[in-house]
Chains A and B, each alone.
Chain A
Amino acid sequence: MEKNKQPVRVSTVLIYVFFCFMMVLYLAPIAWIAMTSVKDRASIYKSPFGWPTEFHWENYAAAWTGGKLGIAMLNSLFVCGITLILTIVIGSMAAFAIARMKWKLSGAAMIYILIGMMIPVHCVLIPLFVRFANIGLNNNLWGLIIPYLTFSLPTCVFIMSGFFRSIPNELLESACMDGCTIYQIFFKICFPLARTGLFVTGLMTFIGNWNELLLALVFVSDANKKTLPVALTKFVTPYQTNYDKMFPAIMIAIIPTIIVYSLFSNQIVDGLTTGAVKG
């Protein structure tokens, strides 16, 4: 293998050059948002790609209050947080029952839930909207939480059932000997043991719902209940666009995700891949 090293080198260098170019292609737009977000409107139009000559940090304050981003962010946090907790609890309960408990219909239940992954949300948009309007769930954050929860469950059940299957049988048996009930086995042993899985599923659920636009756009029209992605689209009106507010708003929206992603990128990437494959 040592001998092979010499000729490989040129191609390896080319690969590195290629990926450095890709890095620029991927990072430059994001760096550029950061740069533009501190320019005033005149210099955005005059030299959109130039280095900012003066820093207008008040853009951020203007975007925050003008676009109601504070409320939008709280709404998003509330919706995604509750969805996250409910998804993890309900999803892993179902996953445990499907993966470890013995009943005839467990396979059928798994298929039933996995079908949910194939169905685009567009199909149920209108019936859900009509139903929710009838029972007063439109313009209500819970009206977002319920569909988000339902559409997050399949991935959660799929990933968590894999984790529960990998827990050794002996562990459950010894717990049983010690007189644990089935509920204690689940909540005190299996649930804590599957922490890694819960973490990955949680992150994925949160990020997915944090970015969701269509449902949020349709179900909520009250300005004080909009989520972050919806609030963002309001920065572009048909006749004018406040670019000096829009760029800080984009930054505010993507910085939390970028921070979370850079902290846990490996787990997220692995989790999203397993979640996407699902056989």
Chain B
Amino acid sequence: MDKLLRDKKAIILFVAPALILFTVVLFIPIGTSFYYALCDYDKKTMTYHFIGLGNFIRLFKDKTMFIAFKNSMFFLVFSCVSQLIFGLLFAALLTNITKGRNLFKNVIYLPCVLSSAALGLLWAFLFHAKVGINNLLGAWGLPQPAWLYSTSGFITLPMWVIAFVALWQYVGQSMMLYMAQISGINKSLYEASYIDGATKKQAFRYITLPLVKPMIGTAMSLNAIGSLKFFDLIYSMLGDKTENLKMDVLATYLYRTGFSSKGGNHYGRASAIGVILVALCLIATAVINKIFKTENYEM
């Protein structure tokens, strides 16, 4: 038995395809990406010249980059906070009922598995300047904001709209994670607290919250990475209009700098944005884990 499980040839045969794929498709390109970020790409000769930190300095002075960075940070903060509040609220309420719990849970989770590209089209129509929700508002004599086309304010209205749509679509994910954690809490803890005269509110504050805390770190890092990667929804809702509307996020700016016909093929600069994105992901995860680091209580 032991000999079989130590069979070197079999081990290599089993692991090699996965490891080779990982190295060739993931780790080598990451290295290349860091190198490209330090280069200027010449479209005509298709060559790369090493220019040091030139791309980063350029991005630092770039107005669009500032907007993209600002919007991404807004998404990051908004999604972390809102998903924590609503995800935890839904989870806490759902664990209080038994009948229909699965139904509610599955319906709220449904948009997570649907294509953002499809749902983005739907919401883009609902928030259209003339038709959609404004049609209803007009009929009731209410003011009709230009939802997706307003450009005033530090955080523009379209950003809020899209942030709420993202919350609607992805809150199920956080809810599921918190539910998994809450249902893992031993019921006798609650029974003991009720015998000692605790109210439901107190039980939530002093039992549920501390025991859910480790999961908050996990769920929030997932939200943070997800909101930094945010692309599908905003692209399908606004398409190429992101630039004029000052609606870029890092991912759309990366896409446009690297691949769009308008932005040209600045592979070097786009790689630099990619590097910044990865760095932000790592920083966000580290910060969140630092804040929510707790020892796991015995449950």
Contact = CB atoms under 8 A, between A and B. Distances in A.
Interface of A: 4, 11-12, 15-16, 18-19, 22-23, 25-27, 29-30, 33, 44-45, 47-49, 90-91, 93-94, 96-98, 100-103, 109, 112-113, 116, 118-131, 146-147, 149-150, 153, 157, 172-173, 176, 181-183, 185-186, 207, 210-211, 213-214, 217-218, 228-230, 232-233, 235-236, 238, 241, 243, 246, 249-250, 253-254, 257-258, 261, 265-266, 268-269, 272-273, 276-277
B159 to A, nearest CB: 19
B110 A26 contact: yes
B40 interface: no
Contacts of B235: 213-214, 217, 233
B267 A228 contact: no
The secondary structure that dominates the A interface is helix
Interface of B: 1-2, 4-8, 10-11, 13-15, 17-19, 21-22, 25-26, 28-30, 32-33, 36, 90, 93-94, 96-97, 100, 102, 104-119, 121-126, 130-132, 135-136, 168, 173, 176-177, 180, 194, 200, 218, 222, 225, 228-229, 231-232, 235-236, 239-241, 250-251, 254-255, 258-259, 267, 270-271, 273-275, 277-278, 281-282, 285
Contacts of A19: 93-94, 97, 100, 104
A40 to B, nearest CB: 14
25 contacts: A4-B194, A19-B93, A23-B107, A33-B122, A90-B21, A93-B17, A98-B15, A113-B19, A120-B229, A120-B278, A125-B254, A125-B270, A125-B274, A126-B267, A128-B25, A146-B21, A153-B18, A213-B117, A214-B251, A217-B235, A217-B255, A236-B121, A250-B121, A269-B106, A273-B176
A93 B1 contact: no
The secondary structure that dominates the B interface is helix
B285 A103 contact: no
Contacts of A27: 107
A30 B107 CA distance: 11
Nearest to A33: B122
Contacts of A268: 113
B239 A233 contact: yes
A176 B4 contact: yes
Nearest to B126: A29
Contacts of B117: 211, 213, 229-230, 232-233, 253
B231 A18 contact: no
A81 B35 CA distance: 34
Contacts of A228: 115
A44 B18 CA distance: 50
Given A26-B108, A49-B136, A102-B2, A96 B114 contact: no
A191 B119 CA distance: 37
Most buried by A among B118, B218, B250: B118
A207 to B, nearest CB: 5
A235 B125 CA distance: 12
B236 A153 contact: no
B115 A276 contact: no
Contact of A182 (B7, B15, B251): B7
Nearest to B23: A112
A223 to B, nearest CB: 15
Q: Can you list the 5 inter-chain pairs with the closest CB atoms, starting with the nearest?
A: A97-B14, A94-B18, A127-B29, A127-B32, A229-B117
A214 B222 contact: no
Nearest to A207: B113
A27 B258 CA distance: 38
B5 A101 contact: yes
A146 B25 contact: yes
A176 B1 contact: yes
A102 B5 contact: yes
A243 B121 CA distance: 10
Most buried by B among A49, A122, A185, A254: A122
B115 A210 contact: yes
A23 B259 CA distance: 40
Contacts of B116: 211, 213, 229
B291 to A, nearest CB: 18
B225 A120 contact: yes
A123 B275 contact: yes
